Amino acid sequence: MKKRLIATAVTVAVGAVLYACGGTNGPSIDVTQGTVLQNATVVNTRDGSLAAGVAVVVDGGIIKQVVSAGVTVNVRGTAQSVDATGKFVVPGYLDMHTHAIDAVDLQPTNWPLFIANGITGIREMRGSSDLIARAKKLNADSAAGAVDAPEVLMMPGEIIGQIPAPATALIATNAAAATAEVQKQKAYGANFIKMFNVNREASLAILAEAKNQGISAAGHLSTALSATESSNAGWKAIEHLGSGVGVLLDCAGDEAAIRTLLLGSATTPGTGGNPNGLLPATWSATPVTAPLYQRVLDSYSDPKCNSMAQTFATNTTWNVPTLIRLRTQHFVDSAAYRTDPNLIYVSKATRASWEASAVARAAFPSTALATFQQYYALQQTIPKLMKKNGAKLLAGSDTALQAPWVIPGFSLHQEFALLAASGLSPLEILQMTTLNGAEFLNRQSTMGTVESGKNADLVVLDANPVIDVANMSKIAGVMLKGKYFAKAALDKQKADVAAAYANQLLATTGPAQEAAHID
């Protein structure tokens, strides 16, 4: 028996999107709620290819559909239409090394600066049971629309290691204490373990127990454990190129002798008697350590560095270079930083503390200053070397209250420029702050590309970011959890923050109100 199929005009509802096919004017789609970015060019973060003339249909914080060119999208009902003609759409930026939660309850908040700079997700690098609970509340409030803030993507517990004064951290000097601390942090909700110059025994114990607990370890390398050995032991992410002498020590032909000298006493490198490798002020380059930095520079070996990077690639050890933090440290007295017009977005107390850091660094002997600035120049070549060897990279800025001249939100864009100066292509930098973050977080199903089913965290740009990395900073609009902020709204957010700081008395944002920063 034959069945007769009768063609009729049918409208099928799928979420907020109504499909209507056929008609003399070609296929069309009716959208009755949510937001539509009309006539946009979507950038494929996998390969840099472009899809022009498309419509990105968003509802409920999710990309419902990316409609191809040639299909008419009729915006009806309560739906909002955004003309994206000539604009380029990319996923929201991820700053994968921040200390923003330190200032979560200060006023004004820094969230408008993050959003205005396209940052929709952050990886926090300091925590505790209380801060983790606070971050969870922030995420819940943001998801409910009670506050506009980027998502806190990951967060550690309390930092384990030896931190330069006046900041403090947990010090685990043996395997038993280290193992117990990892178990404790996993129990109260830490996503990973943050290490800062932990001694050899405790480092290996942390790495082993983190693996047992199904979480990862990241942070600053230990002087007593090479970067290669750390990678082989399961280190997930190296911050600031290891901090201090960092990964470049693995690249030194004179590595063994320099490492022995660094494993000096608890107060002075080169004096012996400190086999655990607890080197004070590992992050802060000082005149005392300058000669050892110079020995790394003088004996640098490109083959050794390539070998280390290949180990990172084999083990999937990620690196978050934070070149902006390294550069502001070594050039902290630079007039360009001290007169940055974006300092209007920083409190007066913070600016004063940063200026004090600049004055202190300017008092260093000229030979030490020259060594550290040359050291940065070599550090800046490492991201390209790592990429060439297949090692994984993430973009991060280390924005924090006590990191001199690292201004919330804006610092990530400075990082883009420094990564470009290191030799990375615009597409590689775009991937570092979108696609790579999704892979690192194992959230490729919801992040990293502009596709149907992904989170509606987007940046709308005035120019093609694959052509020039500077175009990643030409922001025309930002979508956060499906809520669209046009450029005028973003400009107002920044202006409100600047006005609040301008009207603030210095005493109202002093040290008692500003949490101590640990890198």
- Confidence (pLDDT) at 19: 39
- Confidence (pLDDT) at 5: 32
Helix ranges (DSSP H) in 244-381: 255-262, 290-298, 302-315, 323-330, 335-338, 348-362, 366-379
- Confidence (pLDDT) at 285: 80
Please check whether residue 458 is in contact with residue 450, taking contact to mean a CB–CB distance below 8 angstroms: yes
Q: What is the Cα–Cα distance from 81 to 138, expressed in whole angstroms?
A: 29
Q: Is 302 exposed, middle or buried (0-12, 13-18, 19+ CB in 10 A)?
A: exposed
- Confidence (pLDDT) at 261: 84
What's this model's pTM, rounded to 2 decimal places?
0.91
Please tell me which residue, 42 or 285, carries the higher pLDDT value.
42
- Confidence (pLDDT) at 141: 97
- Confidence (pLDDT) at 270: 44
Q: Is 233 exposed, middle or buried (0-12, 13-18, 19+ CB in 10 A)?
A: middle
Judge whether residue 173 has pLDDT over 80: no
33 CA to centre of own chain:
33
- Dmax over Cα atoms in the chain, in whole Å? 97
pLDDT classification of 288: cutoffs 50, 70, 90: confident
Reported as a single tens digit per residue, the pLDDT across 390-449 is 999 999 999 988 799 999 999 999 999 999 999 999 999 999 999 999 999 999 999 999
Domains of the chain and CATH, by start? 11-86 (no CATH), 93-455+502-509 (3.20.20.140)
Q: Which of 10-14, 57-61, 485-489 has the lowest mean pLDDT?
A: 10-14
- Confidence (pLDDT) at 169: 62
Average pLDDT score over residue span 100-114:
93
Judge whether residue 92 has pLDDT over 90: yes
- Confidence (pLDDT) at 167: 54
Mean residue pLDDT of the chain comes to 89
Q: Which of 248-252, 287-291, 363-367 has the lowest mean pLDDT?
A: 287-291
Judge whether residue 3 has pLDDT over 80: no
- Confidence (pLDDT) at 178: 93
**Run of H or E including 413:** helix 410-421
- The pLDDT > 70 percentage for the chain reads 87
Please tell me which residue, 318 or 1, carries the higher pLDDT value.
318
pLDDT classification of 262: cutoffs 50, 70, 90: confident
Which residue reads 């820094």 in tokens?
A: 110
pLDDT classification of 6: cutoffs 50, 70, 90: very low
